[in-house]
Structure 1
Amino acid sequence: MLLIDPAKKISFQRCISDGDLVIVYERHDTMKAVKVCEGSMLQNRFGVFKHSEWIGKTFGSKVFSNKGGFVYLLAPTPELWTLVLSHRTQILYVADISFVVMYLEIVPGCLVLESGTGSGSLTTSLARAVAPTGHVYTFDFHEQRAASAREDFERTGLSSLVTVGVRDIQGEGFPVEFSGLADSVFLDLPQPWLAIPSTGKMLKKDGIICSFSPCIEQVQRSSEALRLNFTDIRTFEVLLRTYEVREAKMDCCEGDEGASLGSLPLKRRQRSSEGSNGQEISTSPTVMAKPSGEARGHTGYLTFARLKCLS
């Protein structure tokens, strides 16, 4: 569980306690959120892990099962929480989230409004960005989704930084009590252009809005609505490409320059032999790099704009 200490600084630099939320890391693509309970056990393919043996250890510890298998107990950071949370809606991932936090210029102490809480993936990162003195007010029109998100923020220790409201922002706009107080606003709505007039009233002078939309037609209509009171309108599509880097053995002939394209040959060679044409063939461990087959494609378009300063 994320801890806010007396100095109001977020910290995981402490020992795991009964009732804490930890991310159990089995491998890079297998993680789960587990609430630590004194008398409980976790059972997986690596064996049985007693929660009582986790208490008192620091986040990042390697713990062993009755069979000698092991897992790591990691802190529920926003990055890891995004990978294990329950998907009540489509969520934003790290590439889009990091871009949003930077372009919205969110720093500690900011007041941020969000519409479209959904699964709370972005909200978690927004809360960390505004801590320790800022606050995120997030709204969802679906009461059950809002309640589930509220429970998640309690579990991750963010309830003092996030307030979840139930409201149809497209139809009603943001609550008037936030007029002129918001540093930035994030919209994840099917018809964001309906909420843009209200957003303009909520922002401070020079405040920034971001709208996330999966379809370019939504971007076009939103941009038309933004031109009335906003400037510096920009739209981005964040495409993340990951690479697999590993060592492999590769047969190549002496003087064959093309054999090493796309690879980083190591200095040592294990063995060599004569090829059928008399050339020496060497088998050497080589570092190979190739794009991952699981690379994530299009998620959505991010449209940013800055409120005009009318003197």
Structure 2
Amino acid sequence: MSFVEYSDFIQDGDVAIVYLSHNSVMPVKVQQGAQTQTRYGVIRHSTDLIGQRYGSKVTCSKGGWVYVLHPTPELWTVALPHRTQILYTTDIATITMMLELKPGSVVCESGTGSGSLSHAILRTIAPTGHLHTVEFHQQRAEKVAEEFKEHRVDHLVTVRNQDVCQDGFGVTGVADAVFLDIPSPWEAVGHAKAALKKRGGRLCSFSPCIEQVQRTCDALSDHGFEEIDTLEVLLRVHEVRTVSLPLPDFGSDSEEAPPAVGATEHPSVTMKTTTPPRRMPGHTGYLTFATKPRS
């Protein structure tokens, strides 16, 4: 099992994702002889998990059942233990696209936090790319490094415990892209520029407040960055429902027979339609993108 390579069967030492319901999943470290308690009963790793195919339907001790899924960055985002606020798939997809990440890319990231974005980056840049991620908090840095090892992606990532605003990323002139998710990103713009390759490269800064965006854009402009754009990604889920609409009666030139007994005088048609949400608490933050000049 690896977050960047697919395996067919569950093995001892894997991290599997137990799917309980539409909005309830949990990560499980598979170990010989271990058990995991769920609301549907106990899952016995030795008999219920090890050797089974990923995607299998597993019956728990109380008779309920769950699915056991291969881990992906998207599943990890909804299952991971939160040590900080995290980025979700809606923003992550936009970041990955706008930073033009691909297999072989070198990326610098700060701060690492709970590792939600980190796993998506690693899946995108594998098998030959590398992620240099910086986390200010020592315990969080140690925990995320441990998770990278458990998820068998540690060969693709270097974790540094330092202040990016003071000490930078620890690399110079190698990055294809830089991502900043820190309280004062404008203080790290100079270090980000130094970490980017000599010609070109993309930068993204995530900030929840527009005042942070304004100061970051000023710093980007002062350091010579171009194509500075800020956008907000909002997830708008439409409700699907079935409605019955009356068919219009345009009349007729010819005389028609009266309707049969029991027949409806106003025929209608049934169809599915969607309605937008009346309330949409969708704001997560602003994404500011910029390009380092190629000259």
TM-score, structure 1 normalization:
0.83
1:155 aligns with 2:164: no
Superposed displacement of residue 65, structure 1: 2.2
Separation (CA, whole Å) in 1 of partners of 2:50 and 2:22: 24
Superposed displacement of residue 48, structure 1: 2.6
Structure 2's unaligned 5+ residue stretches are: 250-261
Which residue of structure 1 lines up, in the alignment, with residue 23 of structure 2? Answer: 29
Q: Say if 2:226 and 2:291, in contact at 8 Å, map to a contact too.
A: yes
Give the 3 Å change call, closer, same or farther, for CA 293–69 of structure 1 in structure 2.
farther
Give the 3 Å change call, closer, same or farther, for CA 153–256 of structure 1 in structure 2.
farther
Q: Say if 2:17 and 2:75, in contact at 8 Å, map to a contact too.
A: yes
- Identity over aligned pairs, percent: 48
1:191 aligns with 2:184: yes
Indicate which of 196, 206, 209 corresponds to 1:212: 206
Q: Say if 1:253 and 1:279, in contact at 8 Å, map to a contact too.
A: no
Matches of residues 177-188 of structure 1 in structure 2 within 5 Å? 178-188=171-181
Q: Say if 1:117 and 1:140, in contact at 8 Å, map to a contact too.
A: yes
Matches of residues 114-193 of structure 1 in structure 2 within 5 Å? 114-175=109-170, 178-193=171-186
For residue 200 of structure 2, give the secondary structure of its aligned residue in structure 1: strand
Instruction: Count residues in correspondence.
Output: 280
Q: Say if 2:245 and 2:270, in contact at 8 Å, map to a contact too.
A: no
Superposed displacement of residue 111, structure 1: 1.0
Which residue of structure 2 lines up, in the alignment, with residue 305 of structure 1? Answer: 290
Q: Say if 1:114 and 1:187, in contact at 8 Å, map to a contact too.
A: yes
Separation (CA, whole Å) in 2 of partners of 1:161 and 1:227: 32
Q: Which letter maps to 1:171? A: Q
TM-score, structure 2 normalization:
0.87
Separation (CA, whole Å) in 1 of partners of 2:20 and 2:277: 20
Superposed displacement of residue 141, structure 1: 1.0
Which residue of structure 1 lines up, in the alignment, with residue 9 of structure 2? Answer: 15
Give the 3 Å change call, closer, same or farther, for CA 108–294 of structure 1 in structure 2.
farther
Which residue of structure 1 lines up, in the alignment, with residue 233 of structure 2? Answer: 238
- Superimposed CA distance per residue, residues 51-77 of structure 1 (whole angstroms, 9 cap, x where no aligned partner): 122111121111112343211111110
- Superimposed CA distance per residue, residues 196-238 of structure 1 (whole angstroms, 9 cap, x where no aligned partner): 1111111111111111111111111111111132101111100
Structure 1's unaligned 5+ residue stretches are: 4-9, 258-272
Separation (CA, whole Å) in 1 of partners of 2:59 and 2:187: 54
The worse-fitting range, judged by mean Cα deviation, of 34-43 and 290-299 is 290-299
Q: Say if 1:22 and 1:74, in contact at 8 Å, map to a contact too.
A: yes
Matches of residues 33-112 of structure 1 in structure 2 within 5 Å? 33-52=27-46, 53-112=48-107
Separation (CA, whole Å) in 2 of partners of 1:17 and 1:287: 45
Q: Which letter maps to 2:292? A: L
Separation (CA, whole Å) in 1 of partners of 2:227 and 2:99: 13
Q: Say if 1:109 and 1:131, in contact at 8 Å, map to a contact too.
A: yes
Q: Which letter maps to 2:96? A: V
Q: Say if 2:247 and 2:266, in contact at 8 Å, map to a contact too.
A: no
Q: Say if 1:186 and 1:211, in contact at 8 Å, map to a contact too.
A: yes
Aligned-residue RMSD, C-alpha: 2.4
For residue 227 of structure 1, give the secondary structure of its aligned residue in structure 2: helix
Q: Which letter maps to 2:186? A: W
Instruction: Determine which structure has the larger strand proportion and give its number.
Output: 1
The worse-fitting range, judged by mean Cα deviation, of 213-222 and 34-43 is 34-43
Separation (CA, whole Å) in 1 of partners of 2:190 and 2:196: 11
Which residue of structure 1 lines up, in the alignment, with residue 2 of structure 2? Answer: 2
Separation (CA, whole Å) in 1 of partners of 2:134 and 2:64: 43
Separation (CA, whole Å) in 2 of partners of 1:37 and 1:292: 44
Q: Say if 2:132 and 2:169, in contact at 8 Å, map to a contact too.
A: no
Q: Say if 1:12 and 1:59, in contact at 8 Å, map to a contact too.
A: no
Q: Which letter maps to 1:103? A: M
Q: Say if 1:150 and 1:159, in contact at 8 Å, map to a contact too.
A: yes
- Superimposed CA distance per residue, residues 23-42 of structure 1 (whole angstroms, 9 cap, x where no aligned partner): 00011101000111221223
Q: Which letter maps to 2:213? A: V
Separation (CA, whole Å) in 1 of partners of 2:278 and 2:143: 33
For residue 233 of structure 2, give the secondary structure of its aligned residue in structure 1: coil
